[in-house]
Structure 1
Amino acid sequence: MPVQNLARSTVVTAEADEPVSKIASRMDDEHVGSVVVTDGDEPVGIVTDRDLATRVLGNGSNPDDTTAADVMSEDLTTVTDSDGFYTAAERMAENGVRRLPVTDADGNLEGIITADDFTELLADEQAQLSSIIQAQRPAYE
């Protein structure tokens, strides 16, 4: 199954020079745990709720004077929209990340897929399997 079928097409983004205080507020408003930092349409980094906790609050930095560029993870792991489910899962595991920006063939941001998306997919698959098994089970009286 291609990642484009699983990924969320709405991605919360920020520019590299945006203060993390605004990023944190946006994350709260949008109910997300990360913001993809972009340069035009290209993802160049990601700021997660953990980054805010450890790299801003943990360091005693002023959130109004600290920018996305100061705290973002720049060694961004991505997948293309045509990559498969297993490729995305492998990249997450190999790189120890829970979120993958999804790009098109030109490197432009198209969406995001998270570990929670995989969990939801697997739960749906298990529910469907359970329904099939129950439908085939003989009725006992």
Structure 2
Amino acid sequence: MAQKVRDIMTGHPVCVPPNTEIKTVATTMRDEDIGAVLVTEGEDLRGLVTDRDLVVRALASDLGPQSSVGGLCSEASVRIGPDDDLDVAVWLMRTHSVRRLPVVDGTRPVGIISLGDIAIEDDPDSGLADISAAEPST
């Protein structure tokens, strides 16, 4: 696996400011068919919110839909550059037990790479690749 992150990342990530309402983020995830949104201040990456965060941190904690996503997001301390090798992405995901990595150019987010993206690239016949490549259910 000698490819670069930029070769398989999802470019043009959806970014929202920290004061965005949780309901807006959830609606965006639904409408865009994505499982993660980056939280930015200006062009700087602040954090990452996943669909799981919406359930475990917001819904299960009785946060209202008008609460801001800034207090809900996971800190994006683990990130990767677009010119890094995929092996580095795999190592970071394994070491930090994460399924998605923000891809940044300096501090500016330029994409997201997921475990599913790597599975599709590394072993397109695997079960995880099949699931990751499948059309979304409605």
Under TM normalisation by the shorter chain, which class is it? 0.7 to 0.9
TM-score by length of structure 2 reads 0.84
The answer to whether the 8 Å contact 2:45/2:76 transfers is: no
Q: Residues of 2 paired with 1:108 and 1:26: CA distance?
A: 21
User: Residues 92 and 98 of structure 1 are in contact (CA less than 8 Å); yes or no, is this contact kept in structure 2?
Assistant: yes
Q: 1:116 aligns to what?
A: 116
TM-superposed deviation, 1:31: 0.4
Q: Deviations over 1:81-134 (max 9, x none)?
A: 111001001111111111111111x221111100110111123388xxxxxxxx
- d(CA) in 1 for partners of 2:104, 2:125: 26
Question: What's the counterpart of residue 135 of structure 1?
Answer: none
State the secondary structure of the residue aligned to 1:79: coil
Contact 2:100 2:113 in 1 (8 A): yes
SS in 2 for 1:124: coil
**What is residue 26 of structure 1 aligned with on the other side?**
28
**CA 125–3 in structure 1, closer or farther in 2 if over 3 Å, else same:** farther
Gaps of 5+ in 1: 127-141
- Mapping 1:118-137, distance limit 5 Å: 118-124=118-124
For the Cα contact (< 8 Å) 2:76–2:102, is it kept in 1?
no
- Is the contact between residue 104 and residue 110 of structure 2 (CA under 8 Å) also seen in structure 1? yes
Identity %: 30
CA contact (8 A) 1:101 1:112 kept: yes
CA distance in 1, matches of 2:63, 2:107: 32
1:71 paired residue number = 72
Moved over 3 A (4+): none
TM-score using structure 1 length:
0.83
RMSD: 1.5
Which is helix-richer, 1 or 2?
Answer: 1
Deviation at 1:6, TM superposition (A): 1.2
Q: Distance in 2 between matches of 1:57 and 1:39?
A: 24
Number of residue pairs matched by the alignment = 124
Alignment of 1:25-104 (within 5 A): 25-64=27-66, 66-104=67-105
- Paired AA for residue 122 in structure 2: L
Q: Give the aligned residue type for 1:44.
A: R
2: CA distance between counterparts of 1:75 and 1:5?
Answer: 21
**Structure 2: tracts of 5 or more residues without a match:** 127-138
**Who wins on radius of gyration, i.e. which is larger?**
1
